[in-house]
Structure 1
């Protein structure tokens, strides 16, 4: 029987060489820090653990004696992945932090694999899962080679492991024997009580396995760029261009109406549509968002089937698709303007700020496509990935919950309208803005957030800057209005 071909066999590079001592020490540091820091929540501890894991991958990617340096894009992905982990350290809200963590993992996979193509960028995270077991075997082999030696790295590694074990065991015993000593340790290092030993051991294993997987990928990455998608069959000029020209005419007619109606002011909207300002805004945003997404899909297939016989065909493709992109930018501006009108009427929410951010990012992609039509498209997949990561980072750094609270408080100051039920659902990031509300609205908005935070502070490595600021405000000015006042003062605003 013919031998079966292993999965990904055509994508593999040479097997990794022996694991380096620097890699093993970095993996050990990542594992120990995972055990100590990951039991109480996620904040700056993510970045602290990611640094030695990144160093393990860096050392593994450089063969012994090599002075080669990582490529510019790999360095960009690596630095960007670490930068994204700043978001959980700054923001209490879970949703931008989740986006940042996922994006950080995606950028880390790009840094390890060095992909350049669309397929490579999309599939590169699979390489991390493929390397989990291989990384364990590779690391264990390296430990066994050094474990029995009486010279070199073996004694040093055994000494570090023994010192860590002694510190944990005796530190836990002394902390249990003396409350003052426990308080001193609690301000500096994590809880090392024996009650949480199983969870801490699991975190140690997870940290070691994750760092080893990243190091193994760096030492022997899968070359996803070897997967090639053949271009589609080129169409004739008439068959290809006519539908797109018709679509361009439709876009131009719609944009002409938008420029005349949407940007003409409130009176124009009423006269030409018979709708209220807010109803007109709400009516079309989702359709325009879907139209933007479908336009990108049309461009993808149009490029796949574009005529490719010579300079005239290239000029035709640039002219038709360039016009479509330019008209789509007006659609993006119209969609954003509609949402701004709707927010003026009903306030800002997480969903609304999120879809506006997505719409703006789609506009950036369209601009990148237009630039690729002029300067070539080799860099386009990486530029789109970089724009997505930059957008997630900017979204987290601007603190969306704080922006929502700020906008809604400003609206309350101008109109007297505020949805207290929605304000209560925000995270601690919103407390500085909600603190500007008069009583009893301030207490009604902040009290549920204060209850969620609780009276006990978490350790420094698991508490975000947003939570720290909120606690300081709440401690200085605790919610004072009774719950009964909240029902009387609640402004009933319909979020449609």
Structure 2
């Protein structure tokens, strides 16, 4: 074979490839503009995309996107000198918990909100009493209409929370004491918030009782938007309603004033029924109006679009081994058992021996022991909660171990609760009953109820445990207010005086009007000394009927039937004589 290429090969290299595509390794020659056109040569299509790139055939990938002209292309963005990282805006924490925005607010909801605001401004400025129930009724109706418009269904737990909240508001209407009233009002707000949210988990019940405050801004915007939309679509109906209301108010004022000046009995009736309004307390009334408006709107908005706090889940901690988890709790159970065995020995006859060895008096022994046992109960509940977080799980044997160890701890703690209550009983027998003592005893008793509920949850399941504990707390606050703590303190003090002639007149004189029926049984001059301060407070009080409790009204009737005599000098001597009151020097001052 010859090394020289053939003549045909030389001709093929010199001629272009078919279709206007250059062969690999060749350089195209420039076209001669003045050369005549070859009739056998195919013209290139101007609409056809280029077939070569650097002399290499390209694959047909379809039409290419149009190229933007250079004069339309702006300058490149300047470089960030700080080299900040752009982050995408993440949705809020509550974005997945709150449903879609509620529909337009209904007219019934708006009228109920307005009624709540007006009643708040007219009735709440003179004190607390039945007026809280009167204000709560339209606020409840506003939430009901909003929930109905949103398509929410009322479940048994919703009715339970709502009825419990309204029942707690009966405490201010029945009792004059301020501290049970405060507890009842706070608990009523918590139950109302739970009724609107419908929570069932631990975090849901805890946060849901306070979640009403989160709806305040959204409720205001919702109400303003609803009023504006209705004013735009009313076609003059709003102006007509306002004019009618103004004319009705003017007629009531004019003719009511005429009838009141014509008849003294009618004037007295109007004075008792209508609130006493003056320009001096106008700022206070305006604040109460705004408070009632904001609160009713927040409740209605929550009823229409509640935050589902149950969506926040807390994962349990990593499961521990059986020995690592159970050994500390078993040691704690043995410690509780040893303490309870000693308490049983004391109750069976070793009480005097223990006092002799410790050198303490009975009251000192009881007082020192109660507070330690109260804290031991609280810490035990914390230990149970942490133990459940890291408890071994997954097998039936693990669940049996958890139930056995924690169940034994709950039973032993119940005995500790009983021992603490017994010590408080001994202390009350020695020094009497006070507000602090009855309060901490009630707390210890409720902790015992919580332990019983935990035991029941271990047997029947813990699905209802968060709500059951919330119900027990609300029921305890309601019962605490209904039993009249001040009245119970007075009755116990009167009974102690009948038994051993020991009484603390100075402390009893600082109780509320709820104590009057019991203190009225004391002989003179103790009766007048105990009731003088209460009588003075009732005389100087000008609260209307809607701001006065039933306990205050009953105390007025008793003091009007049997007047209190002036025995200031004798009361002073009784106040100085601490030996007659049975209190030791170290316990002579008790702010509670």
Question: Does 2:327 align with 1:327?
Answer: no
Q: How does 1:411-426 map to 2 (within 5 A)?
A: 411-426=496-511
Match for residue 223 of structure 2 among 123, 128, 139: 139
Runs of 5+ in structure 2 lacking a partner?
1-85
The 1:355/1:103 distance shift into structure 2, 3 A limit, reads same
User: Could you list the per-position Cα deviations for residues 18-41 of structure 1 after superposition, in whole angstroms to 9, with x for gaps in the alignment?
Assistant: 111211121121111112111110
The 8 Å contact of residues 204 and 309 in structure 2, kept in 1 or not, is answered as: yes
Cα drift, residue 197 of structure 1: 3.4
Question: Which sits farther off after the overlay, 184-193 or 329-338?
Answer: 184-193
In the alignment, what sits opposite 1:92?
176
**Would the aligned equivalents of 1:429 and 1:470 in 2 still touch at CA under 8 Å?**
yes
Give 1:161 shift.
4.8
Q: How far apart, CA to CA, are the structure 1 residues paired with 2:292 and 2:107?
A: 18
| Structure 1 residues 5 and 343: CA distance shift in structure 2, 3 A | same
Q: How does 1:105-184 map to 2 (within 5 A)?
A: 105-150=189-234, 154=238, 158=242, 161-162=245-246, 165-166=249-250, 170=254, 180=264, 182-184=267-269
Partner of 1:46: 132
2:116 paired residue number: 30
Q: Secondary structure at the match of 1:11?
A: coil
In structure 2, the CA distance between the partners of 1:52 and 1:196, relative to structure 1 (3 Å rule), is same
| 2:458 corresponds to which of 368, 373, 391 | 373
Displacement of 1:4 in angstroms is 4.9
- Residues of 1 paired with 2:247 and 2:451: CA distance? 56
Asked whether the 8 Å contact 1:420–1:444 carries over to 2, the reply is yes
Whether 1:363 aligns to 2:453 is no
Native 8 Å contact 1:175 1:185 kept in 2: no
CA distance in 2, matches of 1:468, 1:196: 25
Structure 2-normalised TM-score? 0.79
2:144 is matched with which residue: 34, 49, 58? Answer: 58
Q: Are the aligned partners of 1:127 and 1:221 in contact in 2 as well (CA < 8 Å)? A: no
Which structure has more RCO (C-alpha within 8 Å, separation ≥ 6)? 1
Q: Is the 8 A contact 1:269 1:277 kept in 2?
A: no
- In structure 1, distance between residues paired with 2:253 and 2:314: 56
Cα 1:113–1:199 change in 2 (3 A) is same
Distance (Å, rounded) in 2 between the aligned partners of 1:461 and 1:395: 23
Q: CA deviation at 1:155?
A: 7.1
In structure 2, which of residues 429, 441, 449 is the aligned counterpart of residue 344 of structure 1? 429
Q: Report the equivalent of 2:475.
A: 390
Q: Comparing 175-184 with 69-78, which one deviates more in the overlay?
A: 175-184
Alpha-carbon contact 1:168-1:192 (below 8 Å) kept: no
Report the CA distance shift for 1:167/1:105 in structure 2 as closer, same or farther (over 3 A). farther
> Which deviates more from structure 2 when the two are superposed, residues 201-210 or residues 39-48?
201-210
The alignment partner of 1:469 has SS state of helix
> RMSD value over aligned CA atoms?
2.4
Instruction: Say if 1:405 and 1:430, in contact at 8 Å, map to a contact too.
Output: yes
**1:238 to 1:163, Cα distance in 2 relative to 1, 3 A:** farther
Flag the 1:262–1:170 CA change in 2: closer, same or farther, 3 A. farther
Change (3 A) 1:389 1:290: same
Structure index of larger Rg: 2
Deviation at 1:101? 0.3
Matches of 1:366 and 1:406, distance apart in 2: 31
Q: Distance in 1 between matches of 2:291 and 2:199?
A: 26
User: Does residue 16 of the first structure (1) align with residue 102 of the second (2)?
Assistant: yes
Match in the other structure for 2:271: 186
d(CA) in 2 for partners of 1:161 and 1:376?
A: 57
User: How far apart, in 1, do the equivalents of 2:251 and 2:397 lie?
Assistant: 74
The 3-state SS of whatever aligns with 2:108 is helix
| Number of corresponding residues | 494
Match in the other structure for 2:18: none
State the Cα distance separating 1:10 from its structure 2 match.
2.6
Question: CA separation in 1, counterparts of 2:240 and 2:323?
Answer: 73
Match for 1:205 among 290, 312, 335? 290
CA distance in 1, matches of 2:255, 2:224: 29
2:322 aligned to which of 237, 248, 251:
237
Q: Distance in 2 between matches of 1:101 and 1:225?
A: 25
